[in-house]
Chains A and B, each alone.
Chain A
Amino acid sequence: MKIDFVGKRYYFIALSLVLIVVSLISIFTKGFNVGLEFIGGSEVIIKTSKDYTIADVRNKIAELGEEFKKARIIEVHALGQAEHRTFSIVVSPKDEKGTLRTYTPDEKAEISKKIEEILDAKVVSFNEVSGDAADEIKNLTWKAVVFTLLGILVYVALRFKFAFGVGAVVALVHDVVITLGFFSIFGFEMNIAAIAAVLTLVGYSVNDTIIVYDRIREFGRKFKGRDMASIVNDSINSVIIRTINTSLTTFFVILMLLLFSTGSIKSFAFGMTIGTIVGTYSSIFIASPIVIKWVKSI
């Protein structure tokens, strides 16, 4: 039972290109629902037994002030929570100069009290991040992203010949762009947990790629003289069960987390769920076929 992955590689590359283009279009036109920690502002999370829609909540809280008219309201879903609804309301209060500010303690008490009255709800969380803090968190997060990617690139460069290194990086960029694209398309919040998911998936997906590449090197030495396409195809076939099994077990737990969790962690679960699928797919169908052309010898 051998599957011809390499022979069909142009279909897979075409599929990936479509996904990448759609992702990029969404990222640059629709953008992201950026998390509070990156944009700053205030988030009130309420729990209510009333059967409100987002529009209901919006209409009711408009009287609370200018910033509440422009609030970003998201309903937070999780399985097994049917008896009440949870909404996240994100606002950006401004001072007279138009810069982001935090609320005073009295204002917070007032807002909580009024929201509870107007919506017949319970305020279960009230979070604030100042503009400066958001800038700092953004800056630190960029550093984490850049250093992690650099670290993985150095690792890949040390471990592989140039062509394989390029292949691993192409697969990595592929995974990150498509995962980010899904965040944009489905409007999942882009928060620190989401970044953590993307970074973890980068490490995870590089692993799967490494496993296939190791097999290609091994078979390359074993079957010297055979053409590269058939070596790559045999390598993929010999590791596919292991790759699918390791991915499936991760997928099971991460999917459960996506279904049952709420809050910031849902973004992590979403990123990991998409990332596991895309990363496994790219290791099998993209990373290996694209190196055939460049690798003349092992």
Chain B
Amino acid sequence: MRSDRVRLIVSLILLVAAIVAMLLPGGRQAKGLARLFSRIKLGLDLSGGVRLEYKVDIEKGVENPAAVVDDVWTVLRNRLDSAGYTEAVVKKSFRENNSFVIIEIPDATDTTKAEKLVGSTGLLWFGQAIDERDYDPTVNPDDVNLALREGAQWYADKNGKKWYLIKKEINNRKDLVLVGPRVVEAVPTIDQKGVANYVVSFTLDRQFVELFKNITKELYVPEQVLNAGTTQYQLALKKRLAIVLDDKVQFVGFVVSPIEDGRGQIRGNFTFDEAKELAAILRSGALPARLEKTSANLVSPTLGKDVLEQSLRAGIIGSILVMAYMLIFYGVMGIVAIIGIFYALAIIFGFLAGTGAILTLPGIAGIIFTIGTLVDGNIIIYERIKEEMRAGKTPKAAIEIAFSRSFWALFDANLTTIIAALFLYYFGTGTIKGFAITTIVGIFAAMFMNLVFSKFLLDAVSGAIRVRKAGGAQ
């Protein structure tokens, strides 16, 4: 029959397209059958990795919030690149008047490093340390009053062990305030004085060099003073330079010579990794908005692999049960259904490989659910064929009637599931979108398989279809 030839050609074109999409280069390394799936992108819940989501806290009245989010994106991208996370993905997301940035790092095995890198505002400033405490002075009334009198503020150091009273205006001069300078270079270097520790050397942008020079001149303390009598030393103690990042004191020390080239160092017994991260934060500059962590997910690669294997096992055993049942219950037509299952799965995986849609664990659940419902269309059609044949029609005629009458039944049957999946996709967050995607793709693949591909196969085997007159209802 001519129309069957058209069905066969269309079905084969789709199948070839699906297989080509799966076999194109650019997938993961894989051998044998696994190669078919090597181009399908796995979600972090299956491959393992870190996913961080932050809300961008944009102040009200900002004219162009989208630009702020763009700037946040750029800063984070730079930081992640500088710290060696080149494979990380940074995404912007907008939901219900809120802006979010999402950072996904495949294969990462801990969130601490990434969270420190992203969570830091990165605001660098220089100040004058005028006093220090070994206890928390913010709960001591005398110390609080002292801060008020001096017009300064207590800041903890990065270990939270020491507190410094710091003024942003050097020697109370309003022209000597250095907040958020651009840093053109920041690198971890070996501490010349320490043992196997690292410091971060930085260079300020040219426009800040003069200001930094004036500040260091103002705070300059000749070296002999440090060795001289106590009064002079006590005075010098009130003239120490403080380097503050994200309101945590990174460094406090005497300026023994004015710095004219805009270069400085942050010392603090850093490991190489810590120094590298701090350098990345300094280099990429301050974030233009505060970020608030809304969710963080870590899935170890071993857990991801376990979960993937478990769901594959469930899918394979489930499929075998479905196929066995169809074979036992429908005989020759059952074989058509089994070929149909493989066909529809090829279309679904071809779609995933071709579009780069991400397969998550709920996505696999969607595919497994689809395997169960794939044959629903076959069953609806087969039952109709049986019914028509019992009424005395030839197999060929029964197939024609069954297909022409089943279209709307199938359409109906799938429409309600599509409604649910579409709203889940629209309102869903995170991995559940993957379920909506595979469910919708699965429904279309199933409908095509049921109505086009199976029709051709059924016509081809129609001579072998038997039906027990006495069986069933009616």
Which residues of A come within 8 Å of B, CB atoms?
1-2, 37, 45, 47, 78, 80-81, 102, 104-106, 108-109, 112, 122-130, 132-133, 136-137, 139-141, 143-144, 147-148, 151-152, 155, 159, 192-193, 196, 199-200, 202-204, 206-207, 210-211, 214, 234, 237-238, 240-242, 245-246, 248-257, 259-265, 268-269, 272
B9 CB within 8 Å of chain A: no
Q: Which residues of A contact B436 (CB under 8 A)?
A: 196
- Shortest distance between the CB of B421 and any CB in chain A (Å): 7
Identify the interface centre among A136, A202, A210: most chain B CB within 10 Å of its CB.
A136
Given contacts A105-B119, A245-B379, contact A264 B112 (CB under 8 A): no
8 A Cβ contacts from B419-447 to A: 419-421, 423-424, 426-432, 435-436, 439
B365 CB within 8 Å of chain A: yes
Chain A residue at smallest Cβ distance from B96 = A136
Given contacts A127-B297, A130-B292, A250-B369, contact A192 B432 (CB under 8 A): yes
In the complex, the answer to whether B379 meets A249 with C-beta atoms within 8 Å is: yes
9 A-B interface contacts by CB (under 8 A): A130-B294, A136-B429, A140-B96, A151-B419, A151-B423, A207-B413, A241-B473, A253-B314, A265-B361
Q: Which residues of B contact A130 (CB under 8 A)?
A: 292-295
In the complex, the answer to whether B110 meets A112 with C-beta atoms within 8 Å is: yes
Expressed in whole angstroms, the Cα–Cα distance for A252 and B373 within the complex equals 11
In the complex, the answer to whether B95 meets A136 with C-beta atoms within 8 Å is: yes
Q: Which residues of B contact A210 (CB under 8 A)?
A: 412-413
Taking a contact as CB atoms closer than 8 A, the residue among A45, A102, A204 that contacts B296 in the complex is A102
Q: Which residues of B contact A193 (CB under 8 A)?
A: 362, 365, 432, 435
In the complex, the answer to whether B380 meets A242 with C-beta atoms within 8 Å is: yes
Q: Which residues of B contact A124 (CB under 8 A)?
A: 299-300, 302-303
In the complex, the answer to whether A144 meets B423 with C-beta atoms within 8 Å is: yes
Given contacts A250-B369, A262-B307, contact A122 B318 (CB under 8 A): no
A interface, over-half SS: helix
In the complex, the answer to whether B115 meets A105 with C-beta atoms within 8 Å is: yes
In the complex, the answer to whether A204 meets B473 with C-beta atoms within 8 Å is: no
Q: Which residues of B contact A269 (CB under 8 A)?
A: 365
Expressed in whole angstroms, the Cα–Cα distance for A240 and B362 within the complex equals 31
Q: Which residues of A contact B372 (CB under 8 A)?
A: 249-254
Given contacts A133-B295, A250-B373, A265-B362, contact A260 B302 (CB under 8 A): no
Q: Which residues of B contact A268 (CB under 8 A)?
A: 362, 365, 435
Given contacts A108-B112, A128-B295, A129-B294, contact A260 B420 (CB under 8 A): no
- Shortest distance between the CB of A108 and any CB in chain B (Å): 6
Q: Which residues of B contact A123 (CB under 8 A)?
A: 300
Given A249-B379, A253-B369, 6 new contacts (CB under 8 A)? A102-B293, A102-B296, A127-B296, A193-B362, A193-B432, A256-B368
B376 CB within 8 Å of chain A: yes
Chain A residue at smallest Cβ distance from B117 = A105
Q: Which residues of B contact A102 (CB under 8 A)?
A: 293, 296
- Shortest distance between the CB of A87 and any CB in chain B (Å): 13
- Shortest distance between the CB of A293 and any CB in chain B (Å): 24
Q: Which residues of B contact A148 (CB under 8 A)?
A: 419-420, 423-424
Q: Which residues of A contact B290 (CB under 8 A)?
A: none
Q: Which residues of A contact B376 (CB under 8 A)?
A: 246, 249-250
- Shortest distance between the CB of A98 and any CB in chain B (Å): 19
Identify the interface centre among A143, A147, A245, A263: most chain B CB within 10 Å of its CB.
A245
In the complex, the answer to whether B318 meets A252 with C-beta atoms within 8 Å is: yes
Q: Which residues of A contact B420 (CB under 8 A)?
A: 148, 151-152, 199-200, 202-203
Expressed in whole angstroms, the Cα–Cα distance for A238 and B312 within the complex equals 36
In the complex, the answer to whether B416 meets A206 with C-beta atoms within 8 Å is: yes
In the complex, the answer to whether B361 meets A263 with C-beta atoms within 8 Å is: yes
Q: Which residues of A contact B298 (CB under 8 A)?
A: 125-127
Given contacts A102-B293, A108-B112, A136-B95, contact A144 B427 (CB under 8 A): yes
Q: Name the 10 nearest CB pairs between A and B, nearest first.
A: A253-B318, A250-B372, A203-B416, A133-B294, A144-B427, A124-B303, A256-B318, A260-B314, A105-B115, A253-B372
Taking a contact as CB atoms closer than 8 A, the residue among A112, A133, A147, A240 that contacts B473 in the complex is A240
Q: Which residues of B contact A133 (CB under 8 A)?
A: 53, 55, 294-295
B464 CB within 8 Å of chain A: no
Chain A residue at smallest Cβ distance from B55 = A132
Q: Which residues of A contact B295 (CB under 8 A)?
A: 127-130, 133
- Shortest distance between the CB of A264 and any CB in chain B (Å): 7
Expressed in whole angstroms, the Cα–Cα distance for A86 and B428 within the complex equals 27
In the complex, the answer to whether A126 meets B314 with C-beta atoms within 8 Å is: no
Q: Which residues of B contact A254 (CB under 8 A)?
A: 318, 368-369, 372
In the complex, the answer to whether A106 meets B112 with C-beta atoms within 8 Å is: yes
In the complex, the answer to whether A122 meets B296 with C-beta atoms within 8 Å is: no
Which of B16-24, B147-155, B320-328 interfaces with chain A?
B320-328
- Shortest distance between the CB of A28 and any CB in chain B (Å): 26
In the complex, the answer to whether A252 meets B322 with C-beta atoms within 8 Å is: yes
Chain B residue at smallest Cβ distance from A240 = B473
B317 CB within 8 Å of chain A: yes
In the complex, the answer to whether A196 meets B424 with C-beta atoms within 8 Å is: yes
Q: Which residues of B contact A106 (CB under 8 A)?
A: 112
Expressed in whole angstroms, the Cα–Cα distance for A204 and B302 within the complex equals 35
Q: Which residues of B contact A129 (CB under 8 A)?
A: 294-295
Q: Which residues of B contact A199 (CB under 8 A)?
A: 420, 423-424
B310 CB within 8 Å of chain A: yes
Expressed in whole angstroms, the Cα–Cα distance for A255 and B315 within the complex equals 10
Expressed in whole angstroms, the Cα–Cα distance for A196 and B307 within the complex equals 19
Q: Which residues of A contact B418 (CB under 8 A)?
A: 203
8 A Cβ contacts from B50-103 to A: 53, 55, 95-96, 98
In the complex, the answer to whether A203 meets B417 with C-beta atoms within 8 Å is: yes
B138 CB within 8 Å of chain A: no
- Shortest distance between the CB of B261 and any CB in chain A (Å): 34
Expressed in whole angstroms, the Cα–Cα distance for A23 and B303 within the complex equals 34
Q: Which residues of A contact B315 (CB under 8 A)?
A: 253, 256-257
Taking a contact as CB atoms closer than 8 A, the residue among A2, A241, A249, A264 that contacts B325 in the complex is A249
In the complex, the answer to whether A200 meets B429 with C-beta atoms within 8 Å is: no
Expressed in whole angstroms, the Cα–Cα distance for A246 and B241 within the complex equals 76
Taking a contact as CB atoms closer than 8 A, the residue among A126, A139, A253 that contacts B321 in the complex is A253
Expressed in whole angstroms, the Cα–Cα distance for A104 and B302 within the complex equals 25
Expressed in whole angstroms, the Cα–Cα distance for A198 and B319 within the complex equals 23
In the complex, the answer to whether A207 meets B435 with C-beta atoms within 8 Å is: no
Identify the interface centre among A104, A263, A269: most chain B CB within 10 Å of its CB.
A263
Q: Which residues of A contact B98 (CB under 8 A)?
A: 136
In the complex, the answer to whether A80 meets B313 with C-beta atoms within 8 Å is: yes
In the complex, the answer to whether A109 meets B53 with C-beta atoms within 8 Å is: no
